[in-house]
Amino acid sequence: MIRKQKYDYDLIVIGSGAGGSAAATIAARDGKRVAIIEADTFGGDSPNWSDVPTKALLHAAQLYDEARHGARFGLRSSTMSYNYPSLRAWKDMAVKRTGAGGNRRYYEQQNISAFQGVAHFLTPHEISVNRRHLSAEYFLIATGSHWVPPQIQGLDTIQYLTPRTILEAIRPPKTLYIIGGGTTGIELAQLMAIFGTKVYIADIAARLLPGYDSEVGETMERLLHEQKGVTALTHTRTLSVEKENIAKRVTYNRGGVEHSVRVDEVLIAAGRQPSVDLGLENAGVVYTAKGIETNDQLQTSAKHIYAAGDVLGQNSFTHTALLESRIAAHNIFSKNKMEPDYTATPRIVFSYPGVASVGLTEDDCLKRDLDIKKATAPLNIIARSNTSDFRDGFVKVITDKKGVLLGATIVSPHASELIHELALALKHGLTAADVAATPHAFLSWSEAIRVACAKLG
C-alpha cells in the first residue's frame, strides 16, 4: 500500500520574482514537489517592469545622447532623431529575449506547479489561491514590495505615473515632476531628459541618491543639470497636486518657501513597502508594515516558513534577492544552515556616468565611529578620460588604519562593471596596497581604481 503524502507539496514558493524563482528551481532540480504562486505577472518586477526594460531603454537613450553630441569627435550627428514607438518595441523585445518575464511555462517545464492568483494563509501549512486549497511542508515567502503613493494632498484626484506605467507611455511627457531622488528616480529622470522632457526631481533629503556618499549626489545633480537641464529640488517636501486643464500643478515647500510648477505628468518614485497582505497571522509569522521578520538564516517565527527579497523590508537589489533565494532553498532542506553574506554586495545606478558602490559609505563609518583613511582619484587624471572626452567622475576608496578596504564608490562610465574588482578585494580582506600593486590595463577606466588605492598604499 502506498503511503499517502501528508502535504500536496514539499515546498510552496509565494512570488515568482528574484526572491522566489531561484529557490523554486533549485528545489525542483533536487526532486522536491514544488509549487510557485504569482499574483501578478510571472517573473516579478525585475524582468517585466524594472531592471530589464529600464536598462534596455537607458542603453538606447545613452547611445542616442552620445551620438547626438558627436560633433566634438568630428561626427556630423546633430540632426539625429528617434522614434519612440520603435524604442518601446526594442524594450519589449529585450524583455522577451531575457526569457524571465511572463515565464510561467518555464516553471511548468521544470515540473513546478504554477498558479496565478493571490495566496492567503489559512493555517500554518495551508494556503488558498483562487478558492483552491494547497498545503506544503515548507513555504518561502518572496512577495516583494510595491509602490505606495505618499501622503500628498490631491494625489488621489489625478492620474500619476509609477516606474511601471511610465515605461508604457506612448511618448515622453513634455514636463515631468518626479517625487523621489533615489536610484529609480535618477535613472528615469535621465532617460526622460535625454528624450526631451523638462524634468524636476524632488526629494526631502539634502541630496540626490542619499544612500550614497555625498560626492555622488552632488556630482550627479550637477551633471544632470548641466547636460540635461534637470532641476533637482533637494530639501523639498511636495505639498499638493491639482488638475489644471490637461496639466497638473504641483505645490512644494523648499527652504521654508512655497513654490508651484505646472507639469504634464507626476511620477511617484519613492516609497516602496513590503507586500505582506497574505494572512500571515494565520500561519504564526511575525511581521510589521516594514516587512517580515526573520533570523540570520532567513527563517521566520514559524520554523517551516522562510522569506527572501524585498518582503524583508530592506529594498534590496535583484542580485541580493537571488542570493537570499539560493540560501533559503539550502536552509529549508539542509541541517547545516547558512547565512547570506552581504559584505561585497554592489549597489548600482545605471545612469550615465554610472554609479557603483560597495561596502561602507563614509556616513556608515562616521555612524560607527570608525577610524578611517580615504582617498579620491578624479577621472580626469587618467588617460582614458582624454580619449573618451569624459572628465566628470571619480573613484573613492575607504580603508581602516591598516589599509584594509572598508568601502568604495565609483562614478564613471561602466561603473557597474568596474566595481567588482573592489567588491572582490573587500570580500577577501585585501588592502588598498594589494589592489594598487595589481597591474591595471593602460587606457582602461580601471586605472582610476589603481590611482585611488595607491594614494592609501
Q: What is the pLDDT of residues 265-301, one digit of tens each?
A: 999 999 899 999 999 999 999 999 999 999 999 999 9
Same fold, 9-44+101-146+273-333 and 155-270: yes
| Fold that domain 347-456 belongs to in CATH | Enolase-like; domain 1 (3.30.390)
d(CA 406, CA 343): 9
Residue showing cell 537570499: 324
Every domain of the chain and the residues it spans = 9-44+101-146+273-333, 52-91, 155-270, 347-456
Tell me the C-alpha distance between 294 and 331, whole Å: 13
Residue 267 is predicted with a pLDDT of 98
pLDDT in tens, 8-42: 999 999 999 999 999 999 999 999 999 999 999 99
- Alpha-carbon distance 290 to 275, whole Å? 9
Integer Cα distance of 16 and 5 in angstroms = 25
Helices (H) and strands (E) in the chain, counts: 13, 23
Domain 155-270 falls under CATH 3.40.190.10 = no
Give residue-wise pLDDT tens across range 112-126. Answer: 999 999 999 999 999
Contacts of residues 2-7 at CB distance under 8 Å and 24 or more positions apart, as own/partner, are: 5/33, 6/137, 7/125, 7/135, 7/136, 7/137
Residue 315 has a pLDDT of 75
Q: Dmax of the chain from CA atoms?
A: 82
Mind listing the pLDDT tens digit for each residue in 364-408?
999 999 999 999 999 999 999 999 999 999 999 999 999 999 999
- Which runs of E-coded beta strand occur in 175-270? 175-179, 198-202, 231-233, 236-244, 247-254, 257-263, 265-268
Backbone phi, then psi, for 285, in 5-degree steps?
-95, 125
| Predicted local distance difference test score (pLDDT) of residue 4 | 61
Condensed to tens digits (0 to 9), the pLDDT of residues 152-169 reads 999 999 999 999 999 999
Cβ atoms of 90 and 60 closer than 8 Å: yes
**How many whole angstroms separate alpha carbon 385 and alpha carbon 377?**
12
The mean pLDDT of 127-150, rounded to a whole number, is 95
Per-residue model confidence as pLDDT tens digits over 210-267: 999 999 999 999 999 999 999 999 999 999 999 999 999 999 999 999 999 999 999 9
Pick the CATH number of 9-44+101-146+273-333 from 3.50.50.60, 3.40.50.10470, 3.40.50.920, 3.30.70.270: 3.50.50.60
For the residues 415-435, what does the mean pLDDT come to? Answer: 98
Q: How confident is the model at residue 100 (pLDDT cuts 50, 70, 90)?
A: confident
> In terms of Cα–Cα distance, which of 316, 298, 296 is closest to 307?
298
Q: How confident is residue 3, by pLDDT bands cut at 50, 70 and 90?
A: low
